[in-house]
Structure 1
Amino acid sequence: MALELKGIIPPMVTPLNADGGLDEKGLEKLIEHLINGGVHGIFLLGTNGEAPSLSYALRKELITKACKYIRGRVPVLVGITDTSFSGSLDIAAHSKEAGADAVVVAPPYYLPISQEEMIDYLERLIPQLSLPVMMYNMPSCTKLHLSLETVKKAKELGAIGIKDSSGDMSYFYSLIEAFKETPEFSIIVGTELFLPETIIYGGHGAVAGGANFLPELFVDLYNASVAKNLEDIKILRNKVAFVNSSIYCVGKNASRITKGIKCALSVMDICEDHMALPLRKFENKEREKVKEYLDQFAGSQVA
């Protein structure tokens, strides 16, 4: 049976201990929190998972243990993007062995590459993968904004969908239009506030970072969008907007979103909020601010 990617698929953070090892207890609690919140899949080793900062050994440990804890209850997607071609193949093979359902591929980061070079890369990579492939457009981190032609080529090679985190709504609409005759090719948005438009105009779901700590909110917004319930969409989107303008704005560095997500999970006693170097977790002042915002949210002061 073909894998169907839709709904809310959180880009799960990687729970870490103070020594940089995997926070196994936190990992299990986080997975239960996500599944109990109704998510439709879990994406390991994405941007919020700090994948490039983790050793191959730790990435493999995360994949193995996450698949064990998830137990096939929702699809598991694993990011295999790497500067090393063989490194990507190695993580992909391990993902298959561990029981993952798909892999996610973005352009190799650091070196600037062209669309032609990316297509050549995919022509070599995809035939060697034993799991379905979802493309990942993240130009702010990879230096390449995947063109529509590159995405079409990826589909020809066997890709089953794309997650777009460019924040470019015009580009996103062009994806929906280009693949409207092939609804089995999933169009997934990475910008949380775009979720209602994504669903209403023919997209399939969202890889929403905030669903790490508020999975029910994003699942409810997805369901309201599917039902085209404009009144519920307005209320729920306002809550998502509050998260974007509060928790995501604590701290002054670009890393504040991932830090804020991890800090929120720590405040909720779900997992540790230690970060992989070069990032560091929030100090007490920022943590108290995150707690204050969570308390406001929980107190139904956001409408």
Structure 2
Amino acid sequence: MTSRLLKPGVYCPIPSFFQLDTEDLDLPSFEAHLLRIVQAGVWPLLAGSNGEAIHLSHEERTTLVRGARRTLDARGLTDVPLVVGTGGGSTRETLLLCRAAADAGADYAIVITPGYFAGALAQDREALKEFYREVARKSPIPILLYNFPAASGGIDLDSELITELASEDANIVGVKLTCGNVGKLTRVCATVSDQSYTSKHPRKTATEEFLVLGGYTDFLLPSAYVRGHGAITGLANVAPHSIKKLYDLSVQSLTDPSALLEAQRLQGIVARGDITLAGSGVSGTKSLLQRLYGYGGNPRRPLPPISREDAEALWNHPHIRELVALEKQISGQ
């Protein structure tokens, strides 16, 4: 069992970078970006949707985990946990990926619902629960539920199913809600964020609570007020300091009302940037990283790169310009 705690805060799904000529992994860019994100106070997530996990072989996923752990440890960042995507097409493959990730140095696995046979699974609530029960029971590391209907054939885990799974298995330590359903987040938090619940249903590591994390940052401030725990957001690749500042102010405002006005201002800038970047997908994120830091490149085929015209329009979009300016101000760069 890992000794690195999964804490409330901001998590960033790190892209997998590829060499332009061969599409082989570009490990130097990956390691440089990992350090950039962590040094901004944001926790990393590897081989997620933004990391193009569906485009990676099992061996490449392992390579990224080993490289990340080695890179962090070499910089003295030994307390930073690694959350790794281990979703597969079957329960068997998912467990193979969980074990491989654990062996490579992962601390937690985030598991998306298999969506290839969504038509059958979506109608069978017990089958959905059994998938997560079995993975949690057999995974050597704790898991998070990953609810992303757009990437799971439309399967959308409801709040009751999520809280039932959280209550039944202490090896399930959180959920990422990329459904964007603020009501669902509120309902889940109303159950799992209560102190009496944490005492009655402790995770396997006694000091951990069940984390409820949004999949976007456009409701990071409101989620703090319903006892949410932060977000896992691709926007943190572009603006990690800004989103970390927004999270910190949101938490601070719960006990210090003087922080609320600035939190609201930052939430507006971040929310506008979030919806704008989300529309351009992985290729848009990579194009912005190329502009900002000199690395990014293209996604793996068949996912197309962003066109030159669209990349230029994204870079010059007022919401992105405002976010980039905020990031430079907060980071001091």
Q: Given the two structures, how large is their TM-score scaled by the length of structure 2?
A: 0.83
Q: How does 1:31-180 map to 2 (within 5 A)?
A: 31-39=34-42, 41-71=43-73, 72-112=78-118, 113=121, 114-142=124-152, 143-155=154-166, 156-158=168-170, 159-180=172-193
Cα drift, residue 296 of structure 1: 5.0
Give the Å deviation of 1:299.
4.4
Q: Which amino acid in 2 is paired with 1:273?
A: G
- Give the match for residue 252 of structure 1: none
Q: Measured at CA, do residues 224 and 125 of structure 1 come closer, stay the same or move farther in structure 2, by a change above 3 Å?
A: same
Question: Aligned in 2, Cα 1:267/1:302: closer, same or farther, shift over 3 Å?
Answer: closer
Q: Secondary structure at the match of 1:149?
A: helix
1:270 CA drift (Å): 4.8
Query: Helix, strand or coil: the match of 2:19?
Result: coil
Aligned residues: 296
- Partner of 1:42, secondary structure, is strand
Check 1:147–1:300 CA distance in 2 against 1; reply closer, same or farther (3 A cut): closer
Q: Is residue 2:4 matched to residue 1:8?
A: no
Distance 2:275 2:62 in 1: 34
Tell me the CA shift for residue 147 of structure 1. Answer: 2.4
Q: Contact 1:9/1:42 (CA < 8 Å) preserved in 2?
A: yes
Detail structure 1 runs of 4+ shifted over 6 Å in the superposition: none
Give per-residue Cα distances to partners, 1:71-110, cap 9 Å, x unaligned.
2342110111110322212221121112111001121121
Report the alpha carbon displacement of residue 139 of structure 1 after superposing the two structures with TM.
1.4
State the partner residue of 2:221. Answer: 196
- TM (norm. structure 1) is 0.90
Deviation of the 1:49 alpha carbon: 1.2
Residue 269 of structure 2 corresponds to: 239
TM-aligned CA deviation for residue 150 of structure 1: 2.4
| Alpha carbons of structure 1 residues 89 and 300: separation in structure 2 relative to 1, 3 Å | closer
CA apart distance, 1:301: 11
Does structure 1 conserve the Cα–Cα contact (< 8 Å) formed by 2:87 and 2:97? no
Deviation at 1:295, TM superposition (A): 4.9
Check conservation: 2:46, 2:65, Cα contact below 8 A.
yes
Please state whether the residue corresponding to 1:10 is helix, strand or coil.
Answer: strand
**Identity of matched residues, %:** 24
**Bigger mean CA deviation after superposition, 110-119 or 218-227:** 110-119
**1:82, 1:301 → 2: CA distance?**
35
Deviation at 1:283, TM superposition (A): 2.4
Letter in 1 for 2:160: E
- Which residue is equivalent to 1:272? 296
Which residues in structure 2 correspond to 1:185-264 (within 5 Å)? 185-228=210-253, 229-249=259-279, 256-264=280-288
C-alpha distance 101-301 of structure 1, shift in aligned 2 (>3 A)? closer
Q: Please, which of 268, 285, 302 is the counterpart of residue 309 of structure 2? A: 285
Distance across 2 between alignment mates of 1:120 and 1:246 = 37
Q: Is the 8 A contact 1:266 1:272 kept in 2?
A: yes
- What per-residue deviation string (whole Å, max 9, x for no partner) do you get for residues 106-154 of structure 1? 2112111132111121232211111011111111211211123322332
1:191-213 deviation per Cα after TM superposition (whole angstroms, max 9, x unaligned): 21111111122011100111012
Task: Kindly indicate whether the alpha-carbon contact (under 8 Å) linking 1:9 and 1:207 is maintained by their aligned counterparts in 2.
Answer: yes
Among candidates 20, 23, 48, match of residue 20 of structure 1: 23
Mark the CA change 1:298 to 1:200 in structure 2 (over 3 Å): closer, same or farther: same
Q: Which of 28, 32, 48 does residue 29 from structure 1 map onto?
A: 32
Unaligned runs of 5+ in 2: 199-208, 254-258
Amino acid at match of 1:285: E
Are the counterparts in 2 of residues 12 and 44 from structure 1 also a CA contact under 8 Å?
yes
- Superposed CA offset, 1:259-295 (max 9, x none): 2111111111253321022212112222222333455
Query: Whose RCO is larger (CA < 8 A, sep 6+)?
Result: 1
Aligned-partner residue type, residue 211 of structure 2: S
**AA matched with 2:109:** V
3-state DSSP class of the match of 2:283? helix
Distance in 2, Cα, partners of 1:286 & 1:51: 24
CA contact (8 A) 1:162 1:186 kept: yes
CA deviation after TM superposition for structure 1 residue 302, in Å? 11
